[in-house]
């Protein structure tokens, strides 16, 4: 099966918020976790991931701190903020409505 060319507008933010909600994680691990959790269907490119992380941090939904990785290298680790938890709930609700509506169209068309 082919890989999707891109994510539906706005879904990357939701995927990042959900991934970061499990605990502090660095950028490469966020992309890897999304890929693993989607059974290798979703692949987030660095050119999309890091601007999204920066945007989410600017919005106050995630925060970062530099820490050492398991290999000893220093990386930015991202964590969900209280505002990010609220935003994630909003976005999950929006996703549920959107995916439900798409499902209805596919079943009825």
Tell me the domain boundaries of the chain: 11-108
Q: What is the pTM of this model?
A: 0.86
**In the chain, pLDDT over 70 holds for what percent of residues?**
92
Q: Which residues of 62-81 are buried (b: 16+ CB within 10 A; e: fewer)?
A: bbbeeeeeeeeeebbbbebb
pLDDT band at 6 (very low <50, low <70, confident <90, very high): low
pLDDT value of position 13: 94
Mean pLDDT of the chain: 91
Question: Cα–Cα distances in Å, from 19 out to 3, 15, 74?
Answer: 20, 6, 20
- Give the CATH fold of the 11-108 domain: Arc Repressor Mutant, subunit A (1.10.10)
pLDDT value of position 1: 45
């Amino acid at each position: 099966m082919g890989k999707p060319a891109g994510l539906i507008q706005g879904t990357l933010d939701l995927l990042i918020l959900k991934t970061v909600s499990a605990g502090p994680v660095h950028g490469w691990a966020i992309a890897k976790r999304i890929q693993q959790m989607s059974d290798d269907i979703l692949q987030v490119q660095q050119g999309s991931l890091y601007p999204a992380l920066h945007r989410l941090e600017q919005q106050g939904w995630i925060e970062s701190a530099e820490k050492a990785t398991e290999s000893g290298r220093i990386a930015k680790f991202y964590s969900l903020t209280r505002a990010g938890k609220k935003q994630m709930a909003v976005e999950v609700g929006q996703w549920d409505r959107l995916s439900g509506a798409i499902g209805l169209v596919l079943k009825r068309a």
